[in-house]
Amino acid sequence: MAGAAHCSLQAKRLLLDPKFEGYKLSLEPLACYQLGLDAAVAEVQLRDDQYTLDHMRAFGMYNYLHLDSWYQDNVYYVDQFGRVMNLSVTLDTALQKPREVFRLPTDLTACDNRLCASMHFSSSTWVTLSDGTGRLYLIKSGKRGSSASEKWEIVFNEELGSPFIIAHSVSFVKSEAHSLAVLLLRVEKDELDTKGSGFHVTLEWVTVAERKEGDHRYEIIKRRVLQGKSVPHYAAIEPSGDGLMIVSHKPFTFLKSESDKLEDNDDAKVSNEKKDPLYYWQQTEDDVTVTVHLPQDITKDDIKIRFSPDNICVTLKDQPPLMEGKLYSSVDHESCTWIIKEDKSLEISLIKKNEGSRWPELILGDTRGEFVMDSSQCSEIAESLMHLTSEVMNPNPEKENPPCNAQELEECDAFLEDGASLCRFDGDTLKVTHIINLGSNQYLFSVVVNPREMPCFCLRHDVDALLWQPHSDQPENMWEHIATFNALGYVQASKQDKKFMACAPDYSYAALCECLRRVFIYRQPTPLATVLYNRKEGRQVGQVAKQLVATLEANDPILGFQATSERLFVLTTKTLFLIKVNSGN
């Protein structure tokens, strides 16, 4: 990651509310509708050999309900018969039963090590689908959400190795050919990992494109694999298919193909050859001494050295200059000398014009030399830094600003992972181009606000939750702060049993659900119809943010959770619930 640009997320102050007073519990009733499913959801329980935290995050906490962001209030799930079922809502009071739009050709129960079926809506007419056995389907769906024009047709179908789930996909046109890029997530056994969990996580970036022959057939044109040691919180391909963004606790790197390894070895050889310094230099307060090792056949007559007040040029025989450039500071060029020592080395003495100044480099921009510090200089620097260190943990506790005490943090402020980072990978070089250290900005959830853009991600900033929209085509504004959910970062930390979080694409509310029954809804502050006073401060309150709680009539665990601008969809094993949160326009 040496060449990566280290960036930071810039919050918009206008979207923050430092005077937010908290949520008021509202007892207003929420309209809740439920639909019994003809067949249970195709839930896949974790096996005995899937015992790590990564298995639980990737597969145990999988969201079985899929929201089609291209069409309003359109959700899908896969049932135990391998049928892709769709519910499209236009009127809550006239709900239709979920209808079958596609049936997986394989018998799901026949595969012992299968994962849950997964899908992603790449565009308004394309869907990527996995049956959980390691097979990828690319499907042309027609316009979805209406039974008249919706017809799912398999265009590409191939076995891609061990089972995976689809993390993300995009549809784009490149070189006049339609392409789909898909991100496949696997948790695989790692025989080399003897000290850790014994598993690693891979993200395979597969690009499938229409063949040039014009027969409308598709084929894989690229397969690239990233490997890491933790399941990513967020992984998405850019709309153009040119890059990839990942939020993860531990870093991901591309696995190199054999040709890449050979190129790297050649580069390593070249860099190793360059490692030996061309010259060594030392300095005192008065002068600088430069030592250059000479080749065997060089004599005194072959050496030409030109001194000037600010420059130096050293030439051997008729070769290009060995050293040339502007010195860090001026020298007394008439007093500068050079000699050839017995060990066939050239020693150059430069007399500083400004005595006492310390040079950080000899020739400006020249990194081919190495500075050698003597022991007296080392001890002098150590002594000057002595006041910054102490052998006592807190030598002056009565000081005006004592060090931070971690014990002052509340229990809900602590979370497991505080070292997450956001990386942007380039699709051509396979290297990290941008990196953001998220530090204590805990990842909360992702949401699609505009299906033509990358998914947004929500991070905790202090007590708030801030929503960020990636813009891969805007290098100067690559991550934009688009909305704030006041105090949600703090509120969600206290919900020990939370399973899923989501928010409306219009930011009107955020919601979270527990593993069983309960759903919490947090509305954005809205103006009050009546006058309300804050008794403590004796001032009128203009708006209030409401918290609502819905309790579902179900004993089965919640398997899926999706939010739209008007309603929440909650999926259990045998029931699909609809909670009306906002009334439509």
Task: For residue 510, tell me if it sits in a domain.
Answer: no
**What value does the CA radius of gyration of the chain take, rounded to a whole number of Å?**
32
Q: Name the pLDDT band for 265 (thresholds 50, 70, 90).
A: low
210 and 94: one domain? yes
pLDDT surpasses 90 at 183:
yes
Distance in angstroms (rounded) separating the CA atoms of residues 549 and 534 = 24
Question: Could you tell me if residue 508 is inside a domain?
Answer: no
Does one domain contain both 208 and 340? no
Which of these ranges, 128-142, 375-389, 542-556, has the smallest mean pLDDT? 375-389
Which pLDDT score is estimated for 93?
Answer: 77
Single out the residue in 389, 412, 436 at which a domain terminates: 436
pLDDT, average across residues 343-356: 86
Quick one: pLDDT band at residue 149, thresholds 50, 70, 90? confident
Same domain, 195 and 55: yes
Residue 521 lies in a domain: no
Domain that holds residue 128: 46-250+421-436
**Domain assignment present for 444:** no
Tell me, yes or no, whether 239 and 286 share the same domain: no
Q: Are residues 244 and 286 in the same domain?
A: no
CA-CA distances (angstroms) from residue 357 to 182, 225, 330, 351, 360?
A: 58, 52, 11, 12, 10
Three-state DSSP class for residue 260: helix
Structural domains counted in the chain = 2
Pair (246, 332) in one structural domain: no
CB-facing half-sphere around the CA of 525: CA atoms within 13 A? 19
Strand arrangement, sheet containing 243-248: 5-6, 432-439, 420-426, 243-248, 234-237
Per-residue pLDDT, 266: 57
pLDDT at 541: 60
pLDDT of residue 422: 95
pLDDT band of 544, cuts 50, 70, 90: confident
- Note whether 67 and 127 are same-domain residues: yes
CA dihedral 183, 184, 190, 194 (to 10 degrees): 60
Give the tens place of pLDDT for each residue, 432-464: 999 999 988 999 999 999 999 999 999 999 999
pTM: 0.74
State the pLDDT at residue 417: 46
Residues 351 and 427 in one domain: no
Beta bridge partners, 227, equal 202, 253
CA 314/CA 448 separation, integer angstroms: 62
Claim to verify: residue 234 and residue 316 sit in the same structural domain: no
pLDDT of res. 257: 66
* Whether residue 192 is found in the same domain as residue 325: no
The phi, psi pair for 408, rounded to 5°, reads: -75, -15
Alpha helices in 104-219 (DSSP H): none
Report, as an integer, the average pLDDT of 1-19: 85
Could you tell me which residues come within 8 angstroms of residue 250 by beta carbon, excluding any fewer than 6 positions away? 228, 229, 230, 419
Q: 395 in a domain, yes or no?
A: no
State phi, psi for 434 to the nearest 5 degrees: -140, 140
If you write DSSP's letter for every residue of 477-538 in order, what string do you get? Answer: GSEEEEEEETTHHHHHHT-TTEEEEEE-TTSSEEEEEESSSEEEEEEPPEEEEEEEEETTTT
Backbone angles phi, psi at 20, to 5 degrees: -60, 130
Residue that wins the pLDDT comparison between 268 and 90: 90
- Residue at a domain's end among 367, 401, 436: 436
Tokens of 424: 């942007």
pLDDT in tens, 202-254: 999 999 999 877 677 899 999 999 999 999 999 999 999 999 999 999 999 99
The pLDDT value recorded for residue 415 is 44
- Predicted local confidence at residue 108, as pLDDT: 67
Selected residue with higher pLDDT from 411 and 551: 551
Ranges of beta strands (E only) in 72-146 are 74-78, 83-88, 99-103, 118-121, 126-130, 135-140
Higher pLDDT, 259 or 22: 22
Mean pLDDT of the chain: 86
Q: What is the mean pLDDT of residues 487-505?
A: 94
Of 427 and 532, which is predicted with more confidence?
A: 427
pLDDT band at 488 (very low <50, low <70, confident <90, very high): very high
Task: Indicate the SS3 state at residue 355.
Answer: coil
Q: Specify if 143 maps to a domain.
A: yes
Say if residue 235 is in the same domain as residue 145: yes
What is the per-residue pLDDT for 414?
46
pLDDT bin (cut points 50, 70, 90) of residue 426 is very high
Residues in the chain: 585
Round to whole Å and give the CA distance between 546 and 508.
11
Asked, for residue 132, whether it belongs to a domain, the answer is: yes
Question: pLDDT of 377-423, one tens digit each?
Answer: 777 777 777 777 666 655 565 555 555 554 455 545 544 445 789 99
* Statement to judge: residues 238 and 294 lie in one domain: no
Range with lowest mean pLDDT among 52-56, 278-282, 405-409 = 405-409
In whole angstroms, give the CA distance from residue 200 to residue 186: 8
With respect to residue 385, please indicate whether it lies within any of the assigned structural domains.
Answer: no
Taking residue 328's Cβ as centre, other Cβ atoms within 10 Å add up to 19
The span from the CA of 183 to the CA of 238, in Å, is 11
- 189 C-beta neighbours (distance < 10 Å), count: 11
266 φψ region: left (φ > 0), alpha (ψ -120 to 50), beta (else): alpha
The region of weakest confidence among 29-38, 231-240, 259-268 is 259-268
Q: What is the CATH number of the domain that holds 364?
A: 2.60.40.790
